[in-house]
Amino acid sequence: MKKLRWIAVLSLGLVSLGMSVPASAQVKYDAPDLSFIESGYFRVTLQVHSGASGAPGGFVVAWMKKSDYDLRGGWPVDEDDPAVARCEFSGVPTLNVDLSSPSFQLEPSGRIKIEIGDLFDETGLVASYGDHVPTGTEYVFRAHAVATPEAGESDWSSTLYAGTLMAPECTQGFWKNHEEAWPPGCTPMLLGTVSYTKQQLLDIFNTPSRGNGLVSLAHQLIAVKLNACNGSDISPVLTTITAADALIDGLVIPPVGSGYVHPSSTSAMTQTLDNYNNGTPRGVAGCPQPTPTRPTTWGSLKLNYR
């Protein structure tokens, strides 16, 4: 008790002299809560809810496969364990925007949605792993508030269990990493009014958006058109596809060109196509059916649906 009293006196003395008190000598932020929203084929959508003290410096989310978690008997002591992926959310999202909060820096009792498995094109974060998470896999997640000069890093939240859906491959992440699976007849492909070769489409896939809504929209548009070529029913999102092509028009998508669209003009369409490619909401058949014996080109599909 006497030791704690001396720490408090020392802290007050430093403040009175205009000196900052290290966060480690101060109270910690309250631990945030994690809750599950929905699963996709290659993503898990969570909500981060800050405690009463908020998370003004942002927050960190860690995740690992439940199989690795069980093998280790829980979260590993070594924070550099390769089985654990981490992402620090501390800036402003421009891809998956949530009206609950404009920033990952949360007010007291603030909340915001995040999509693990859809971080490649997001802004305001630094991640050790930003690509899709594998289909049909169970994960564990936890989070803590980031330290600031005013208060220390919070304790970890309780562990949340959630997983991805088991389904045929159909997302941006799958097509980007499995070019050998691209159905014949899909390329060259029109995005807007500009035609792109397979290699150019792969280059676009591998280019992070960095706040360019044109790039993030193109990622989902390429994926949905590949799904269409592979036999998916695109009627639920045909209006969105048409609107996306009209918006892109003659803009040439980076890195092939230097076109740019503010993400506020594309985020709704990008999210709709991303949901379709991930099989959400329930009942939307986003994943491809078995590849047709007679390859179907995107051009002929577009004419059929007009």
Domains of the chain: 27-163 (2.60.40.10), 172-305 (no CATH)
Per the CB < 8 A criterion, the answer to whether 149 and 25 are in contact is no
> What percent of the chain is modeled with pLDDT above 70?
82
Nearest to 34 by CA among 158, 162, 165: 158
Q: SS3 letters for the chain? A: CHHHHHHHHHHHHHHHCCCCCCHHHCCECCCCEEEEEEECCCCEEEEEECCCCCECCCEEEEEEEHHHHHHHCCCCCCCCCCCCEEEEECCCCCCCCECCECCCCECCCCEEEEEECCCCCCCCEEECCCCCCCCCCEEEEEEEECCECCEECCCCCCCEEEECCCCCCCCHHHHHHCHHHCCCCCCCEEECCEEECHHHHHHHHCCCCCCCHHHHHHHHHHHHHHHHHCCCCCHHHHHHHHHHHHHHCCCCCCCCCCCCCCHHHCHHHHHHHHHHHCCCCCCCCCCCCCCCCCCCCHHHHHHHHC
Nearest to 175 by CA among 255, 287, 77, 260: 287
Residues 25-79 have pLDDT tens digits of 579 999 999 999 988 878 899 999 999 999 999 999 999 999 999 999 999 998 8
Amino acid at 296: T
How much is the pLDDT for 46?
A: 97
pLDDT band at 142 (very low <50, low <70, confident <90, very high): very high
Question: CA 60 to CA 244: how far, in whole Å?
Answer: 33
Burial zone of 29 (CB within 10 Å; 0-12 exposed, 13-18 middle, 19+ buried): buried
pLDDT band at 296 (very low <50, low <70, confident <90, very high): very low
Provide the whole-model pTM.
Answer: 0.65
Sheet bearing 125-127, strands edge to edge:
125-127, 85-89, 59-65, 138-145, 160-163
Nearest to 215 by CA among 270, 135, 151, 290: 270
How much is the pLDDT for 169?
A: 59
How much is the pLDDT for 154?
A: 98
Residues 104-139 have pLDDT tens digits of 999 999 999 999 999 999 999 999 988 888 888 999
How much is the pLDDT for 21?
A: 46
Per the CB < 8 A criterion, the answer to whether 242 and 183 are in contact is no
Q: Which residue has the higher pLDDT, 10 or 267?
A: 267
Q: What is the largest CA-CA distance in the chain?
A: 82
Query: How far is residue 5 from each of residues 1, 11, 42, measured CA to CA in Å?
Result: 6, 10, 51
Does the structure show a pLDDT above 90 at 181?
no
Average pLDDT, the chain: 84
